[in-house]
Amino acid sequence: METTVKTHDGTGSPDGPVPPSGLQPFLHDACITLCAPSMALSRPDGQLREGCDGFYHGDRRALSLLTALAEDVPNAPIGGGPDGAERASFRTVLRGLAEHSPDPAVTLERRRRVEPGELSETLTLHNAGRTPARVRLTLRAASDLASMETVKSGRTVPRRAPEPQPDGVSWSDGEFTARLVCTPAPEAAEQAADEITELHHSVELAPGERWEAVLRCTVEDQQGDVFRPATSAARTALASGASLASADHGLDHWFARARSDLGALLLADPLQERDTFLAAGAPWFLTLFGRDSILAARMLLPLGTGLAAGTLRTLARRQGAVSDPSTEEQPGKILHEIRRDGLDFGDGLAVPPCYYGTVDATPLWVTLLHDAWRWGMPPEEVEPLLSHAESALTWMDEHGDADGDGFLEYVDSTGRGLANQGWKDSGDAVRHRDGRLAEPPVALCEVQAYAHEAALGAAELFRAFGRGGADRWEEWAARLADRFRERFWVEDARGPYPAIALGADKQPLDALTSNIGHLPGTGLLNAEESRLVAERLAGADLDCGFGLRTLSSDSTGYSPLGYHIGTVWPHDTAIAVQGLARDGHFEVAESLAAGLVRASVPFEGRLPELFAGHGAHTDSRPAPYPASCRPQAWSAAASVAVLQAVLGLRADAPGGRLTVRPGMAERYLPLRASGLRLGEREFEVALDGDGTARVFGLPGDRVTVEVLEP
């Protein structure tokens, strides 16, 4: 459907297209500005015209329509877009006003800023002509107070009746209230059709004169925020001192843009507001996700351990304590997501506000604790979390392996939750090579790698802190590696490779997928197995030139726009890059990293959650996946993961050692990375044009720097 209220831009066009009911809105051309838990989505010209557009706070839409148009003259947008994560600006020419040549004379500028709980827009009319101009500016506003789940599903709800105010308008459902205030107050206000409010200003502009108005939309939520906004100091501090200058400006821009976006995605735990974590992504996932927040924090460890510590503690406070089939909570389990409201996807699929339906967040939590300790998380912060690690390991051994076959597997016990509970959680993500879908319970290949790495990391932690159990978990990991070697490997005409998973019949699901890229570097594979995986990842059916396809293009059901069956996910590729570099497969790692950097350029450094997998051999730039989040925490953090792989950084803060092994750095030379951190110590790595590595800022009597040849 489309709204039919006439606009005042001289075209008579509707306020904007609304997708057919039931179809998820597209985001590929949206301008997204955010400061979690608030965000604004608009058209490229700055107008909020419904669909997915709006100003949101905490999974509720406060504004669904906000347009600014000059009546009776053509409004011609000439440019606009983000000016960082939290700001955007747009400029429109008001054609025919005060013009004495082909040059435009009168413009409308719109500058937007998002802060927690507030959207502000400064509107500026400027007459650069030689004669006076009269402008009748009309602001049109409406709100449906829709939930994010409703917007994402493509369903529509009626607009709320506006409540006129002396200087604007408000909307309320008794619990959530949005107020729009205009300064100066409008000269006139009218209630148009479909619950739309029109605010009018008549402006006389002398030659060279400017006129300005400020719009502010604020929200009040009686229910309160699920998570608090991080302080401005915390947002600024996140990676604030880090900088990168290399021979590849694409990598530099991706890194710089990521720093800005990551600060805007930061949230705080209301139970302890000093603990911050990254919301998964905007707009659909602007909340705590166990897996996403953990992986993003892990990728960012070279910039400091504070984020990792906050993420670990926030999740530990909510670690499963009881068995509750309705939420899939189990003792020791790390949650999947928390929202203000539950989600109802239709067709019987629904999840509660606090949902534990994930198989991988628990081992990933343990690994983050280990890696944060290695990067210098203070022992007094690590030790209180060791009991949570023990609970997580017990979950892995018992609940995670419910049938006792020695592998971690999942099955939706509710009948209405996620059918697939790894990072590829869409219903068609796990399959055989011939396209047949998996039947639960499912044991994913990468989850076994996560579990193996977690067990070895926990053993190292337990020994360092004088706790028992280290031998047990090392033996557990060794047995898991043996079982994996016996059961997961399959073969085709090109040779052996790991299956994506074991299905309900305990037989391999032989689809060739990017999941195998999560295995190198975890210790699960021996040297020959790692080499075989590297060769598969290097194939043109997976490496599309912009990163790894999630499913081989040779597989039945491959779709370059399939969510988990052919698209490219930057974090997925970055994990493979790190593991391959760790295992010494530098050529393959460098090719995949270069693909991500290449892809980041047309996305202006803000790599989305995912994009199409058509590939560089057919497309000069990757096509967007239209409903993808931008920014996404782990896509932004992937820039740091790639940098870590380029530098070959390995940290051992407890042992006073930093290793540099720049085996895939040639295309980026010379390179200088500043603001890196090993515990409380800030350092810098410089790679000269010939590849010579130098480290500055680490005192030799406290830290041994070891530079290894590739």
Query: Does 4 fall in a domain?
Result: no
Q: What's the CATH code of the domain at 450?
A: 1.50.10.10
pLDDT of residue 16: 44
Q: How confident is the model at residue 239 (pLDDT cuts 50, 70, 90)?
A: confident
| Residue at a domain's end among 172, 206, 221 | 221
Residue tagged 């994506």 (tokens) = 500
Instruction: Answer whether 109's CB lies under 8 Å from 126's CB.
Output: yes
Residue 472 parent element (H or E): helix 470-487
User: Rounded distance, CA 47 to CA 523, Å?
Assistant: 51
The reply to whether 456 and 511 lie within a common domain is yes
User: Rounded distance, CA 278 to CA 287, Å?
Assistant: 8
Judged by DSSP in three states, 708 sits in: coil
pLDDT of residue 555: 95
For the residues 530-538, what does the mean pLDDT come to?
A: 98
Angle, vertex CA 572, rays to CA 567 and CA 576, nearest 5:
125
| Helices 290-299 + 361-374 axis angle, to 10 | 20
Q: What's the CATH code of the domain at 100?
A: 2.70.98.40
The reply to whether 276 and 206 lie within a common domain is no
Closest C-alpha among 628, 710, 609 to residue 669? 710
Tens-digit pLDDT profile for residues 126-148: 999 999 999 999 999 999 999 99
pTM of the model: 0.95
For the residues 15-30, what does the mean pLDDT come to?
A: 73
| Residue at a domain's end among 173, 206, 221 | 221
- Written as one letter, the residue type at 262 is L
Query: Does 677 fall in a domain?
Result: no
Residue 263 has pLDDT above 80, yes or no: yes
pLDDT of residue 345: 61
Query: Does 155 fall in a domain?
Result: yes
pLDDT of residue 622: 97
Tens-digit pLDDT profile for residues 475-500: 999 999 999 999 999 999 999 999 99
The reply to whether 506 and 546 lie within a common domain is yes
The reply to whether 164 and 251 lie within a common domain is no
Tens-digit pLDDT profile for residues 75-128: 999 999 999 999 999 999 999 999 999 999 999 999 999 999 999 999 999 999
Instruction: Say how many C-beta atoms besides its own lie within 10 A of residue 166's C-beta.
Output: 8
Query: Does 392 fall in a domain?
Result: yes
Output the average pLDDT for the chain: 94
For the residues 294-307, what does the mean pLDDT come to?
A: 98
Three-state SS annotation for 30-56: CEEEEECCEEEEECCCCCEECCCCEEE
The reply to whether 393 and 461 lie within a common domain is yes
The structural domain count of the chain equals 2
How many percent of the chain have pLDDT more than 90? 89
Question: What DSSP assignment string belongs to 574-615?
Answer: HHHHHHHHHTT-HHHHHHHHHHHHHHHTTTTT---S-B----
Burial of 223 (0-12, 13-18, 19+ CB in 10 A): exposed
Given phi > 0 = left and psi -120 to 50 = alpha, else beta, which region is 442? beta
The reply to whether 207 and 261 lie within a common domain is no
The reply to whether 98 and 244 lie within a common domain is no
Higher pLDDT, 64 or 239: 64
The reply to whether 554 and 427 lie within a common domain is yes
User: Rounded distance, CA 51 to CA 59, Å?
Assistant: 15
Alpha helices in 332-444 (DSSP H): 361-374, 379-382, 386-397
For the residues 296-315, what does the mean pLDDT come to?
A: 98
The reply to whether 216 and 235 lie within a common domain is no
The reply to whether 115 and 197 lie within a common domain is yes
Tokens read off for 99: 């013009």
Instruction: Answer whether 508's CB lies under 8 Å from 479's CB.
Output: no
pLDDT of residue 346: 63
Residue 710 has pLDDT above 90, yes or no: no
User: Rounded distance, CA 180 to CA 508, Å?
Assistant: 57
Tens-digit pLDDT profile for residues 325-356: 999 999 999 999 999 876 666 666 678 899 99
Query: Does 679 fall in a domain?
Result: no
What is the β-pairing status of strands 501-502 and 508-509?
antiparallel
Query: Does 6 fall in a domain?
Result: no
Q: How confident is the model at residue 20 (pLDDT cuts 50, 70, 90)?
A: low
The reply to whether 272 and 181 lie within a common domain is no
Instruction: Answer whether 534's CB lies under 8 Å from 520's CB.
Output: yes
| Residue at a domain's end among 191, 221, 251 | 221
The reply to whether 505 and 458 lie within a common domain is yes
Judged by DSSP in three states, 667 sits in: helix
Tens-digit pLDDT profile for residues 582-633: 999 999 999 999 999 999 999 999 999 999 999 999 999 999 999 999 999 9
Query: Does 249 fall in a domain?
Result: yes
Query: Does 490 fall in a domain?
Result: yes
* Enclosing domain of residue 246: 228-668
